[in-house]
Amino acid sequence: MLIASFTSSLTDQLRHVSSGWVYLIVALLVFGEAALFIGFVLPGETAVIVAGVIASQGKINIVALCALVVVAAIAGDSVGYLVGHRYGERILTFPLIRKRDVAIERALEGLRQRGPIYVFIGRFTAFLRAVMPGLAGMSKMHYRRFFVANAAGGLLWGIAYALLGYFAGGALSKIEHYASWAGISLLVIVIAALVVLHFRRKRRDAASDAAWVQTHPTESAQDGE
In a domain, 194, yes or no: no
Please give the pLDDT value at position 197: 67
| pTM exceeding the 0.85 threshold for the entire prediction | no
CB 68, CB 23: distance < 8 Å: yes
Cα gap 59→18, rounded to integer Å: 8
In a domain, 177, yes or no: no
In a domain, 206, yes or no: no
Please give the pLDDT value at position 224: 47
Please give the pLDDT value at position 221: 47
**Longest pairwise C-alpha distance within the chain:** 62
Q: Which domain holds residue 82?
A: 2-171
CB 33, CB 44: distance < 8 Å: yes
Please give the pLDDT value at position 40: 65
Degrees (nearest 5) of the Cα angle 62, 49, 54?
50
Cα gap 158→174, rounded to integer Å: 25
Please give the pLDDT value at position 74: 95
In a domain, 193, yes or no: no
Cα gap 9→209, rounded to integer Å: 32
Q: How many Cα atoms occupy the beta-carbon half-sphere of 21 within 13 Å?
A: 8
In a domain, 98, yes or no: yes
Degrees (nearest 5) of the Cα angle 61, 19, 46?
75
In a domain, 21, yes or no: yes
Instruction: Let me know if 225 is exposed, middle or buried by CB neighbors in 10 A (0-12, 13-18, 19+).
Output: exposed
| Tally of domains within the chain | 1
Residues of the chain with pLDDT under 50: 1-4, 175-176, 178-180, 182-184, 219-221, 224-225
Please give the pLDDT value at position 192: 64
Please give the pLDDT value at position 8: 56
Please give the pLDDT value at position 103: 78
In a domain, 218, yes or no: no
Cα gap 143→224, rounded to integer Å: 32
DSSP alpha helix (H) spans, 36-142: 44-56, 62-87, 95-98, 101-114, 116-122, 126-138
In a domain, 212, yes or no: no
Cα gap 66→168, rounded to integer Å: 15
Cα gap 126→158, rounded to integer Å: 13
Closest CA to 23 of 2, 54, 45: 54
